[in-house]
Amino acid sequence: MDKSEIDQLKSVNRDLAFFLKEQLEYVLILNRSVQALQKLVEEDSALSTRYKVCLQSVKSSGLGLPNPQRLNQIGAMLQKVARDGTL
């Protein structure tokens, strides 16, 4: 593999890292929104009965996502790839 091919691969890595970092930011925003909604629903019994099923549905669809600290670590790795093109 010559230098131009490696540079092309690094460029693709950077582009992909920028895209994934953006998607990760959306996941973090959604996570914070769900947590805020959960807190609001838990504090208001009228809302609790009305939105409990909806909130549970949203939370269960997000099961399997890493915790926010892990998401931040992934974000840092993506930032490095975006900057350098490699890990």
pLDDT for 45: 79
Where is pLDDT greater, at 44 or 13? 13
Q: Rounded to a whole number, what is the distance in angstroms from the first to the last CA of the chain?
A: 19
Confidence tier at 12 by pLDDT (50, 70, 90): very high
Query: For the segment 23-69, what is each residue's pLDDT rounded down to a tens digit?
Result: 999 888 888 888 888 888 888 877 777 777 777 777 777 666 677 78
Helix axes 3-43, 68-84, angle to 10 degrees: 160
The ranges assigned to domains in the chain are: 3-81
* pTM score of the predicted model: 0.68
Distance CA 2, CA 45 (A): 65
